[in-house]
A = this chain, B = another copy of it.
């Protein structure tokens, strides 16, 4: 029925969007490609949330409970395979465990998220696929979720650990010029967790700019330095090579203006965000414009961060680009309101301040 909103993606953005639609009296179909709800925080085993270290598991459980509502029809292991029609009356094809089906919906919220940058694809210089002790933020998160942090090559605790920021972000060579927004906070959070687990381990973060915006400054950045003795070094890492079973990190300390050559036991690459395959696929199926990075374009920014190029189709969360959890929850609310208004025919003729 066209009174329904289709929400594509069962991560934080999609869960909050569907919950919000139901909270204001609307109906939603929530489609998720995997067999469980939770999205990337679930799939990548997030442990503690930035900045307040709350349990990701508890937060996801609460988001999942929010869609246990008779007004929300949750379809797991389901993909959107086609779409026609326009605002107020879209016809979408779904492919799920029960076969193909077609649904009529009045509006659509795209919440297909991001994927972590794969450091093996282009940046062979960091040796992610060569050295087992070179890992990524989500690899580290997986260990921290099990309350452990070891050198993958030996299973022993590392004596020192370095995070390298902006891997796959702020990098013109690979085409990702944008900043991925959350990696400074996530790396600092993981650094604190490592220091809590292993008080004798030294932890370094090599960065260009520490983007600890808003309260992340006082809630993570200062405690990381003052309570947990995490060492922040403004510098550029150019190369990692194996040496005597450890990792030799070469680069430049740009504050001290001198070359940098240090041995590390574990190096964590702070990989950024790229559009997920789901985001790229769904954009094509729905016919919404993508920006040059492949994320869903939102031409009405900053006054309208959720309208896409197609009336009646909205976007929430990291499907539109790098977003933190607060951005995602806010966007989900905004998208839900605009979607329900579109369904009810109360939408303004064009997105607000689309310029």
Contacts and interface: CB of A to CB of B under 8 A. Distances in A.
A178 interface: yes
A325 B216 CA distance: 18
A227 interface: no
Interface string A17-55: 000100111000000000000000000000001111011
Contacts of A213: 179, 181, 211, 213, 322
A75 B151 CA distance: 63
B352 A66 contact: yes
Given A209-B209, A337-B336, A63 B181 contact: no
What is the count of identical protomers in the complex? Answer: 2
Contacts of A211: 209, 211-213
A341 B23 contact: yes
A338 B333 CA distance: 9
A139 interface: no
A60 to B, nearest CB: 9
Interface stretch (A96-104, A116-124, A193-201, A252-260): A252-260
Contact of A49 (B302, B306, B321, B331): B302
A156 interface: no
Contacts of A306: 330, 333
A62 interface: yes
Interface of A: 12, 20, 23-25, 49-52, 54-55, 58-59, 62-63, 66, 170, 177-181, 209-218, 222, 234, 254-257, 301-306, 321-327, 329-338, 340-341, 344, 346-348, 352-353, 355
Nearest 5 A/B pairs, CB to CB? A330-B330, A333-B334, A209-B209, A302-B325, A333-B333
